[in-house]
Amino acid sequence: MAPTIRLLCEDKHQRDFVVRALQKANISTRGLFPNVSPQGKGSGKDYVDNTYPNEVANRRTCPHITLIVVTDADDGTVQERRKQLEECLQSKTKDDGGKSKMRFRPLEKEDKVFFLIPKWEIENWVYYLWKGEEVAESRAYSKKELPAVKYYDALRAKTTQENLGKFIADIRQNTQTLQNCPESLCEHGKEELKRIF
């Protein structure tokens, strides 16, 4: 039976990256239920912030569910974005039948909630895996600086898939074969993916 995975993310690019990573790790995506911010309906970040507490609540009522949250850190740090999500969880209240409102409790170790938080955008991770070149995470790239190749072409490219496979092998073997890896991917992302795999 395929594991049940809920995926909360800001956009389709993030969703597709996670699907590719899970497939490369030989994890079935048949039980994957993506919750992607509706295009053209406002900020993807706001959507994740507003939806996250309910996704955690759903995960807690169904212990067999794994929740993966993908959201950009933008100009903040990965740690700051995690803290923002924790604040969203603790500031949200739930109705317990109309009598009173209770706050969501903070995440605990037994909560199977994992975070993939690229700096600026997931496209930087894909660009790095595609080209193997260093990506500066201290700033956003303009459309002129990133390659003219479409995102999905880069995601499907043979070199991207090979490097994604190497990255997953590194996670499983606790090695580091890829060079110049973005910190948000090779440190923070690697730790979260290690917990998933």
Place of tokens 């209770």: 102
pLDDT of residue 192: 92
pLDDT of residue 113: 95
Residue 91 has pLDDT above 60, yes or no: yes
Instruction: Give the separation between CA 177 and CA 14, rounded to whole angstroms.
Output: 24
What is the amino acid identity at position 95? Answer: D
Strand-pair partners of 36: 9
pLDDT of residue 152: 84
pLDDT of residue 44: 95
SS3 for 159?
helix
Give Cβ neighbours of residue 186 (< 8 Å, ≥ 6 apart).
167, 176, 178
Q: For residue 145, give the nearest of 123, 122, 117 by alpha carbon.
A: 123
Residue 97 φ/ψ, nearest 5 degrees: 105, 15
SS3 for 126?
helix
pLDDT tens per residue across span 52-72: 999 999 999 988 899 999 999
pTM: 0.89
Domain ranges of the chain: 4-196
Instruction: Give the separation between CA 28 and CA 120, rounded to whole angstroms.
Output: 28
